[in-house]
């Protein structure tokens, strides 16, 4: 039965957590109450990407794109749109406050430069319903891999597509599969790396939440190609919604004969199981992940042998990232040529990024490789919040580096980001503005690495701690110029001598910030000053007598208290007693309290 | 001397029975135990060691390696405050400092009445709402220090 309207409610984590589920349930309830239950179908989808403006609700066929929806709006959506056929204007996305014009979805700045391959089904289908996935060419790639292509030809197809791993290193996917396929042994495994440990990245999570079958399908294709009969999805325990949706997808795939014995009558057997991570960043590293899958402490082991030769339980194993897998099903369905047209010469296809930090439109974006950072930050991301000045963008999380203004026009490829001293990483993209302090950020990432170092090798275990202590010293105003050279020396040693890339890249955020913002470091060291006011020990609060109207709010809020002044007269802070809590700074409505 | 065994529910025992023969399933069983008790009590680890016939030291080696597993009982309400990069940049640390001062606890301590504890977590996956605080299944986005007393009060039982 066709419905008059379809209402798509975002079921991504961002929207769910701002009452998305309540909106979903209220819409269903209202449709019933208002007697139009049979005219409308309410569907919960994966993330639309535009999380900044969530919760998002989209109504078809009018393509109404509603933003910042509340459960209280459900009644009106049903009454107006479903019953009377009129859009709820006040909820529509608008370019700015003043305009009242409806903006077509494809014209929204945020979506204009995006191109969705990996996220093709997110925000479009109900991820808990396999039929909706199948209706959008789902499992046709598997069909071709089972009946049309030999394993050789699948590898050849992947080679033609140019797909490279999206988990960070960019290793050619076809080669990995081919090595594993040719490795001796009867028992082989397929593993999906869904550990996504970069703090501030959630592309893999959204992909699974929005389109779990794309992973399931691709893993079966992989199993068939390399000759494996078992696969594991290793996923963070902190992702309950994604885990739930994977479980549902696996169950449905079994019911449809897509998993289990004799898949679609092809004679090929394959099954999948989910295993939970337990909050250790290093377990994203493939050898550590395999240790963890075996139920052990997740410590990396030296390579070679590579997992392709000796992986899970010493058997040949393909381990790929979630996004890598999400590309496979669509490559197999649409063909390598289609895919190879997207992107650049050496970096094919698209890349998803979690765009966050001081950006107007934070959210999940997917762009063709070769798009420039400027396009992402300013066109898609809508520029910096509150009209502040752009300082830098960090890609690759704790393993990456900062990229500055002058490099914003570089097209994004694996090679260009590495050349800039950063890396593709999994896709966290953190935007920083003039209020962020690079010393503070370097310290933040280093503290993360100190916490996450598994401790197996000395360069990483000791080096991260030493670098962190020096950064702390600088941020407290006790640094000396030689500290910068020391940081660089330890950093280089760590990069060379660490067993795995956690230690091998832990110095990147520090080294790249020193390279690009040496003067900021020097200000901390020489002038004992933190321009951004982030390094607490260096901040001095003062009241600007010219701006102070003597309202006394600051004095009342100060917990010490150390602010004095007559009513309607400029107030003063007693620096010696000030504990630098910043209360007065937040409290003053006239901008009279300043950080120095 | 007879040992007083820690109580395992029927479901938990069934789960362990199902998983114990699968290879590499220790972490899955520990997850299930933590789900049951909100942490992994020593007696539970001991009992698991007996059931699966694994040295306790090995089990503890695994428990202590992973941040997710807790060996002490957290507060009834866990304030999970995000310290992922986006939240850190938008003031997550201030939320932790303020919550510690409101609840008068430090680090992983639990309030005297057992009601609250604070957990610094990494990226809850809704960075658009940074800084983010999560209590149970309730998520609070764009939280400011000023809102904390009111939010915490909601969970304080009279
Ligand atoms: C410290 C560290 C953390 C990593 N974390 C992840 C991760 O969270 N997800 C991921 O897919 N790959 C991660 N990797 C990369 C994996 O080791 C591996 O290269 C990847 O899973 C291979 O998949 P791909 O070829 O599809 O990219 C990490 C590597 C290191 C050194
Ligand atoms: S580099 Fe660090 S995380 Fe990697 S093995 Fe060595 S100590 Fe462990
Ligand atoms: S920063 Fe805090 S202690 Fe210092 S003057 Fe302002 S309110 Fe008082
Ligand atoms: S979670 Fe709804 S748009 Fe991203
Ligand atoms: S960094 Fe806090 S939700 Fe992502």
Looking at the fold, whether B84 and B153 belong to one and the same domain comes out as yes
pLDDT in tens, B76-100: 999 999 999 999 988 999 999 999 9
Q: Which CATH number is A540-595's, of 3.30.1130.10, 3.40.50.2300, 3.30.70.20, 3.90.950.20?
A: 3.30.70.20
Q: Which residue has the tokens 């590495």?
A: A418
Which chain B residues are closer than 8 Å to A436 by Cβ?
89
Selecting from A52, A276, A292 the residue whose C-beta is nearest the C-beta of B31 gives A276
The ligand minimizing its distance to the Cα of A119 is 4
B145 or A290, higher pLDDT: A290
Same domain, B87 and B144: yes
DSSP B146: G
Could you give the number of structural domains in chain B? 2
Same structural domain for residues B137 and B112? Answer: yes
Which residue among A238, A362, A394 places its CB closest to the CB of B127?
A: A362
For residues A206-228, b (16+ Cβ closer than 10 Å) or e, as one string?
A: bbbbbbbbbbbbbbbbbbbbbbb
Using the 3D structure, point to which of B18, B44, B65 is the last residue of a domain: B65
Determine whether the shortest distance from the Cβ of A110 to ligand 3 is under 6 A.
Answer: no
Q: What is the pLDDT of residue B61?
A: 95
Residue B70 in any domain: the answer is: no
Are B127 and A354 in contact (CB < 8 Å)? yes
Say yes or no: B59 and B85 in one domain: no
Instruction: Give the one of A54, A297, A441 whose C-beta lies nearest to B65's C-beta.
Output: A297
- Phi and psi angles of residue A216, each rounded to the nearest 5 degrees, phi first: -55, -50
CA distance A239 to chain B (A): 8
Interface contact flag, B125 A202, Cβ < 8 Å:
yes
CATH topology of domain A350-433: Ubiquitin-like (UB roll) (3.10.20)
Read off the pLDDT of residues A468-515 as tens digits, 9 standing for 90 and up: 999 999 999 999 999 999 999 999 999 999 999 999 999 999 999 999
CATH topology of domain A5-110: Glutaredoxin (3.40.30)
The Cα A206–Cα A366 span in angstroms is 12
Higher pLDDT, B119 or B157: B119
- Distance between CA atoms of A44 and A129, rounded to whole angstroms? 10
Which CATH code fits A438-527? 1.20.1440.230
Which residue segment(s) compose the domain that B44 sits in?
10-65
A481-496 per-residue burial string, b: 16 or more CB within 10 A, e: under 16: eebbeebbebbeebbe
- What is this structure's pTM? 0.92
- Beta-carbon contacts of A334 under 8 Å, excluding residues fewer than 6 positions away, are A137
Residue of A nearest to B58 (CA): A296
Atom of ligand 2 nearest to the CA of A494: 1
Band of the pLDDT at B3, cuts 50, 70, 90? Answer: low
* Sequence-separated (6 or more) residues with CB below 8 Å from residue A78: A27, A30, A31, A34, A36, A40
Q: Is A40 helix (H, G, I), strand (E, B) or coil?
A: strand
Q: Could you give the CA distance from residue A309 to residue B47 in angstroms, rounded to a whole number?
A: 37
- Percent of chain A that is helix, strand, coil (3-state, to 5): 45, 15, 40
Q: Mutate which of A11, A243, A278, A300 to disrupt the B interface (most B C-beta within 10 Å)?
A: A278
* For the CA of A581, the nearest ligand: 3
Residue B1 lies in a domain: no
| Closest ligand 5 atom, residue B84 Cα | 1
The pLDDT score that the predictor gives to residue A191 is: 98
**A206-215, B61-70, B116-125: the lowest-pLDDT one:** B116-125
Residues of chain B found within 8 Å of residue A238, distances taken between Cβ atoms: 68, 121-122, 124
Q: Which of B68, B125, B145, B146 to mutate to test the interface with A (most CBs of A within 10 A)?
A: B125
CA–CA distance, A48 with A45 (Å, rounded to integer): 8
The finding on whether B87 has its CB within 6 A of some atom of ligand 5 is yes
Q: Given pLDDT bands bounded at 50, 70 and 90, which one contains residue B5?
A: confident
**CB contacts < 8 A (A, B):** 130
User: What is the C-alpha to C-alpha distance for residues A71 and A53, in angstroms, rounded to an integer?
Assistant: 15
Crossing angle of helices A458-475/A518-526, nearest 10°? 60
**What interface predicted TM-score (ipTM) does this complex get?**
0.92
Are residues A297 and B61, on separate chains, in Cβ contact within 8 Å?
yes
- Best probe residue, ligand 2, of A286, A291, A451, A453 (max atoms within 8 Å of C-beta): A453
Token pair 């120095």 is found at: A596
Indicate the pairing of strand B133-135 with strand A563-564. Answer: unpaired
Q: Residue A205 is nearest to which of B27, B125, B134, comparing CB atoms?
A: B125
The predicted pLDDT at position B2 comes to 52
Residue B64: the pLDDT is: 95
Q: Please, are residues A523 and A530 in contact by the beta-carbon 8 Å criterion?
A: yes
CA–centroid distance, B154 to ligand 3, in Å, is 28
Query: How far A17 CA sits from the closest chain B CA (Å)?
Result: 5
For residue B2, is it within any domain?
A: no
- Asked if B89's CB is within 8 angstroms of A279's CB, the reply is no
Q: Which residues of chain A have pLDDT under 70?
A: 1, 97-100
* A119 touches ligand 1 (CB under 6 Å): no
Give the pLDDT confidence score for residue A98 in this predicted structure. Answer: 63
Residues B85, B20 within the same domain: no
CA A215 to chain centre: 17
Query: What CATH number is associated with residue B140?
Result: 3.40.30.10
Nearest to B24 among A14, A293, A454 (CB): A293
Q: Do B128 and A275 touch (CB under 8 A)?
A: no
Ligand 1 center to A501 CA (angstroms): 10
Residues of chain B contacting residue A362, judged by C-beta atoms under 8 Å apart: 86, 127-128, 130
Residue B53 belongs to a domain: yes
Question: Looking at residue A45, what is its pLDDT?
Answer: 92
What pLDDT is recorded for position A106? 80
> Are both B98 and B134 inside the same structural domain?
yes
CATH class of A130-340: alpha beta
Query: Taking a C-beta distance cutoff of 8 angstroms, is the pair A319, A346 a contact?
Result: no
Q: Are residues B60 and B86 in the same domain?
A: no
pLDDT bracket for residue B4 (50, 70, 90): low
Tell me, yes or no, whether B36 and B57 share the same domain.
Answer: yes
In a domain, B37, yes or no: yes
* The token pair that represents B105 in the structure block: 């606890």
Helix, strand or coil for residue B79? strand
Asked if residue B29 has its Cβ within 6 Å of ligand 5, the reply is no
- B158 pLDDT higher than 80: no
Q: What pLDDT sits at residue B1? A: 47
User: Is ligand 3 within 6 A of the CB of residue A380?
Assistant: no
Q: B153: exposed, middle or buried (C-beta count within 10 Å: 0-12, 13-18, 19+)?
A: exposed
Spell out the domain ranges in chain A. 5-110, 130-340, 350-433, 438-527, 540-595
Same domain, B40 and B110: no
Residue B5 lies in a domain: no
Q: Which atom of ligand 3 is nearest to the CA of A561?
A: 8
Statement to judge: residues B81 and B149 lie in one domain? yes
Same domain? B44 vs B84: no
Residues B139, B83: one domain?
Answer: yes
């Amino acid at each position: 039965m066709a419905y008059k309207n379809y209402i798509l409610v975002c079921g991504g984590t961002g929207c769910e957590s701002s009452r998305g589920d309540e909106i979903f349930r209220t819409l269903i309830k209202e449709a019933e109450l208002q007697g139009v239950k049979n005219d409308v179908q309410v569907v919960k989808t994966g993330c639309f990407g535009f999380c900044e403006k969530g919760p998002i609700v989209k109504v078809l066929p009018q393509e109404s794109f509603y933003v910042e929806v509340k459960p209280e709006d459900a009644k009106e959506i049903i009454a107006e749109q479903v019953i009377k056929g009129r859009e709820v204007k006040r909820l529509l996305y608008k370019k700015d406050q003043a305009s009242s014009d409806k903006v077509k979805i494809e014209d929204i700045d945020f979506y204009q430069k995006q191109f969705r391959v990996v996220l093709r089904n997110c925000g479009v289908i109900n991820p808990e319903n396999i039929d909706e996935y199948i209706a959008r060419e789902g499992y046709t790639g598997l069909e071709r891999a089972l009946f049309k292509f030999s394993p050789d030809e699948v590898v050849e197809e992947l080679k033609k597509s140019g797909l490279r791993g999206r988990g960070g290193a960019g290793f050619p996917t076809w080669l990995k599969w081919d090595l594993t396929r040719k490795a001796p042994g009867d028992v082989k495994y397929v593993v999906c790396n869904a550990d996504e440990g970069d703090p501030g990245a959630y592309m893999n999570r959204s992909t699974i939440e929005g389109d779990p079958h794309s992973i399931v399908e691709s893993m079966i294709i992989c199993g068939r190609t390399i000759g494996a009969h078992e696969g594991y999805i290793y996923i963070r325990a902190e992702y309950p919604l994604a885990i739930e949706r994977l479980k549902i997808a696996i169950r449905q795939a079994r019911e449809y004969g897509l998993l289990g014995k004799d898949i679609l009558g092809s004679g090929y057997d394959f099954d999948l199981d989910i295993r939970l991570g337990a909050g250790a960043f290093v377990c994203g590293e493939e050898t550590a992940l395999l240790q963890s899958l075996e139920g052990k402490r997740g410590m990396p082991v030296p390579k070679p042998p590579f997992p392709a030769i000796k992986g899970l339980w010493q058997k040949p194993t393909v381990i790929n990232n979630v996004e890598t897998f999400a590309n496979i099903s669509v490559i197999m369905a649409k063909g390598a040529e289609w895919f190879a047209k997207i992107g650049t010469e050496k970096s094919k296809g698209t890349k998803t990024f979690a765009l966050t930090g001081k950006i107007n439109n934070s959210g999940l974006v997917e762009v063709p490789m070769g798009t420039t950072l400027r396009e992402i930050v300013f066109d898609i991301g809508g520029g910096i919040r509150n009209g502040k000045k752009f300082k830098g963008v960090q890609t690759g999380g704790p393993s990456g580096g900062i990229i500055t203004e002058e490099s914003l026009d570089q097209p994004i490829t694996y090679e260009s980001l590495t050349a800039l001293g950063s890396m593709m990483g999994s896709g966290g993209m953190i935007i920083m503005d003039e209020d962020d302090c690079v010393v503070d950020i370097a310290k933040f990432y280093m503290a993360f690495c100190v916490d996450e170092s598994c401790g197996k090798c000395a360069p990483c275990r000791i080096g991260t701690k030493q670098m962190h202590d020096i950064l702390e010293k600088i941020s407290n105003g006790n640094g000396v110029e030689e500290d910068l050279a020391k940081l660089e020396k330890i950093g280089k040693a760590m990069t060379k001598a660490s067993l795995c890339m956690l230690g091998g890249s832990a110095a990147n955020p520090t080294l790249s910030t020193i390279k690009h913002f040496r003067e900021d470091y020097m200000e901390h060291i020489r002038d004992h000053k933190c321009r951004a006011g982030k390094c607490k020990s260096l901040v001095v609060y003062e009241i600007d007598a010219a701006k102070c109207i003597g309202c006394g709010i600051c004095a009342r809020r100060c917990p010490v208290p150390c602010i004095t002044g007559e009513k309607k007269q400029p107030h003063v802070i007693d620096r010696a007693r000030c504990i630098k809590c910043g209360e007065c700074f937040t409290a003053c409505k006239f901008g009279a309290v300043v950080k120095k | 001397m007879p040992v007083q065994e820690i109580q395992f529910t029927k479901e938990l025992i069934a789960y362990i029975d199902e998983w114990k023969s699968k290879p590499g399933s220790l972490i899955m069983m520990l997850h299930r135990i933590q789900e049951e008790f909100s942490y992994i009590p020593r007696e539970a680890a001991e009992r698991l060691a007996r059931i699966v016939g694994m040295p306790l030291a090995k089990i503890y080696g695994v428990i202590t390696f992973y941040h997710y597993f807790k060996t002490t009982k957290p507060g009834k309400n866990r304030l999970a405050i995000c310290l992922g990069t986006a939240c850190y940049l938008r003031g997550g640390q201030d939320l932790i400092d303020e919550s510690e001062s409101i609840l008068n606890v430090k680090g992983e301590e639990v309030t005297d009445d057992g009601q609250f504890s604070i957990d610094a977590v990494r990226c809850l996956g809704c960075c658009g709402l940074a800084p983010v605080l999560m209590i149970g299944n309730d998520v609070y986005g764009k939280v400011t220090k000023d809102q904390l007393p009111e939010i915490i009060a909601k969970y304080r039982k009279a």
